[in-house]
Amino acid sequence: MAYSLAKYQMEDGLWRSSLNDPEWITTKETSGSAFYIYGMAKGIKEGWLPKEYFISTVLKGWTGLMSCVTPYGKLGYSQIVAGSPHEVRPHDNVDYAAGAFILAGTEILKINAMSEMNLLIDNTFIPRVVVRDGFWPTYNKNSVITHRNCFFTSYIKHDDTGALTAFNFNKHPNVSAYARKELKLFSKENGFPEFTPSIFPLHKDTIQVTYAKAKNNYTLLSQNIYLPIWKPMEKKGLKESNTINKNADCLQNSRNCFENNDIPLINLLSNNYTLFTIKKQKKNIQVAYTSIEGNKHNYYLASLKQNKWKKELLCSFSNDKKSDNNIKGSITLHPNKQEVIISSAFHPKTKQPLPNGLYQLFSGEKINKIWQWKQLTFNPVHNQFHPIITDGQNHALFWMSGQKINEKEYHTDIMMSSKF
């Protein structure tokens, strides 16, 4: 129940009088919210709930409750006894709400939550939403780039509209000249976008966006966009293909091989591999990929040296249970470091399933020939998946947060953190 309740927590930290229909009565309500926070804090103290997943929910809720305390020390926004959800006012207060408020505060003190707040403040990994209602239908590292001291990201929206937006490194929303509201690239009427649009910097004031559209066949289109006024300069078809995505930084052909413009043929000798990242440094090439073999989900690195591929298994999990989760694990390489970010529903060190079966992000770094793992996200509501690390001087981690219904339907936001 705690996971379901966390799903309905609003931005102000509180819940609404109608729990599963917060739009019915939009005013915040404190009597029920205080009991929820008390229950979650109690669950953390007793070990029923994982602290790393719920401490943020508890602290956010407690902050919301504190904002409802009047100058006279009364807890406002408390619903009086009623037969149905009812609107509340800032000065509405009742004894049972105050009692729940005191219980919640007592449990928060017992779990030493204030020190946890300081740890959260000091944490350099700070997830932030950069695109609401956006998703990447296919893995494509060029869906996020850095150019002219800005991040540019392309994505598909829930109504199948393709779009592009930008923001600077330190602030979001961005105030720079390059950042504008999202630019619409195409609409559903032109054909369903099977692939995530790729972005390429052409020169100082121009970027190119290339994408594939499916109607009767796959057609690649390209738009040159002039900055900073986001003016599309031209739109043209490149060529047609009925098999593969030509505009990604890597592609999969019918022989389950992977190719890149400046990288020789990569044959991973399997029928069920998904390639995510290619990294080329001087004469060395590394690729990161996953494979599913029976009930095993494997995460690999492969290195090409002297025209020979050497594979390294980073971690492997066995999942004997059927899951309604349509998300699969993914992996990305840091451009400069011997470091990876993976999305997994299992902890890569303990191999234990994560709470509620949700995918979370982990960073892995090779130290003294041993991979060390650190969990980055502890979201009790949404899957965290599809990580991408940008190239260039300013690295940032991007990923999706939400649910995948099927191959063409997502309910996700695009997230980022400049430190990871």
Tens-digit pLDDT profile for residues 357-386: 899 999 999 888 889 999 999 999 999 999
For residue 163, the cross-strand partners are 155, 184
**Are 13 and 37 spatial neighbours (Cβ–Cβ below 8 Å)?**
no
How many CA atoms, within 13 angstroms, populate the side-chain half-sphere of residue 200?
12
What pLDDT, in 10s, does the model give residues 105-153?
Answer: 999 989 887 676 666 666 668 888 888 889 988 777 788 988 877 888 9
331 φ, ψ (degrees, to nearest 5): -150, 145
pTM, entire model: 0.81
Triad 189, 194, 195: Cα angle to 5°: 120
**Are 193 and 160 spatial neighbours (Cβ–Cβ below 8 Å)?**
yes
**Are 100 and 34 spatial neighbours (Cβ–Cβ below 8 Å)?**
yes
Angle, helices 95-110 vs 51-66, to 10°: value is 140
> pLDDT at position 274, please?
73
Distance CA 80, CA 83 (A): 10
Cβ within 8 Å of residue 303, ≥6 positions away? 284, 285, 286, 309, 310, 312
Widest CA span in the chain: 76
C-alpha closest to that of 277 among 244, 297, 301: 301
Helix (H, G, I), strand (E, B) or coil at 149: coil
What pLDDT, in 10s, does the model give residues 277-300?
Answer: 777 666 677 888 888 777 888 898
Domain range list for the chain: 2-122, 124-139+251-420, 148-247
> pLDDT at position 246, please?
40
